[in-house]
């Protein structure tokens, strides 16, 4: 014979367990929705919306675990595509530093001006800097983005400037040291870049605007960061890795690696 008190106790425990599951599920859904909501946020440009299917921004921001209240630096942000998206996720208590040098400001126009117009992103601060002197406070950032620009730190021109006279010589090691120093303990650094052939290291950064994934791992691990996660969202095995990444037949079709590094706590 089953006692009534035992049945009531079982029913109460089951109800409590269901409530816990429901709460956990709603919390997970809410976290995921924040990234999706950023992508469908009102006011985003038609150009950004066309770019979304190629860049999978919600998935990338979710992969980097960007959260409300975070301090994020989007380095060589160009026209600010990711800066705007991150601003919606970090919210009013967070901040996004949109960092460019003069060349990236120039290449980001006119979309950059339109994005910054009328202070439409009050939690975004745009700075035009010499990358060799970032002036970032130590342990001030929760996250750093280097999205399809890490290779540009190794871009070299025999004359020291690009054809438009905009590209200065960059001390890549110094820039990376500054970024790692600026990360808080347990802070993350996201790298997305165009894959170069195995064994090429950084040697095709100038010619093809590509860099080798294993080179990136060594570069950041030598500065104390650890690989926290990898993603294959942009894997394209059919890419020969022999074409210039940002124009022509390879545009939007490159094999890209995605690495998330974490600073030890």
State what percent of residues in the chain have pLDDT above 70: 84
- At the second CATH level, the architecture of 45-262 is 3-Layer(aba) Sandwich (3.40)
Helices (H) and strands (E) in the chain, counts: 8, 7
Which DSSP string do the residues of 44-64 spell out, in sequence order?
Answer: --HHHHHHHHHH-HHHHHHHT
Assess whether pLDDT exceeds 90 at residue 111: yes
- Which residues fall within 8 angstroms of residue 147, CB to CB, at 6 or more apart? 60, 74, 82, 190, 191, 192
Could you report the per-residue pLDDT of 198-230, keeping only the tens digit for each? 999 999 999 999 999 999 999 999 999 999 999
Q: What confidence tier does 158 reach under pLDDT thresholds 50, 70, 90?
A: low
- pLDDT at residue 16 greater than cutoff 60: no
The predicted-structure confidence for 37-78, as pLDDT tens digits, reads as follows 999 999 999 999 999 999 999 999 999 999 999 999 999 999
- Whether the predicted pLDDT of 164 surpasses 60: no
- Give the global pTM: 0.86
Domain residue ranges in the chain: 1-39, 45-262
Check whether 21 has a pLDDT greater than 70.
no
């Amino acid at each position: 014979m089953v006692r009534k008190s035992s049945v009531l106790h079982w029913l109460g425990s089951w109800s409590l367990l269901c409530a816990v599951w429901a709460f956990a599920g709603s919390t997970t859904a809410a976290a995921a929705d924040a990234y999706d909501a950023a992508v469908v946020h009102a006011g985003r440009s038609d150009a950004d919306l066309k770019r979304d299917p190629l860049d999978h921004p919600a998935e990338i921001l979710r992969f980097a675990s960007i959260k409300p209240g975070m301090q994020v630096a989007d380095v060589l942000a160009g026209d600010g595509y990711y800066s705007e998206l991150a601003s919606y996720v970090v919210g009013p208590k967070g901040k996004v530093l949109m960092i460019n040098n003069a060349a990236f400001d120039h290449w980001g126009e006119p979309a950059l001006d339109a994005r910054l117009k009328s202070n439409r992103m009050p939690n975004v601060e745009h700075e035009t800097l010499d990358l060799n002197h970032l002036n970032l406070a130590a342990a001030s950032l929760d996250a750093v983005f280097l999205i399809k620009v890490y290779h540009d730190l190794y871009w070299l021109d025999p004359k020291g400037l690009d054809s438009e006279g905009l590209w200065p010589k960059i001390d890549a090691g110094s820039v990376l040291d500054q970024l790692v120093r600026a990360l808080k303990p347990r802070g993350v650094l996201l790298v997305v870049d165009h894959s170069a052939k195995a064994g090429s290291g950084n040697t095709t950064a100038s010619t093809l605007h590509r860099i080798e994934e294993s080179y990136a791992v060594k570069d950041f691990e030598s500065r104390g960061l650890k690989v926290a996660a990898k993603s294959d969202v942009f894997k394209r095995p059919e890419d020969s890795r022999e074409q210039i990444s940002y124009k022509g037949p390879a545009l939007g079709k490159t094999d890209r690696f995605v690495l998330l590094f974490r600073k030890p706590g």
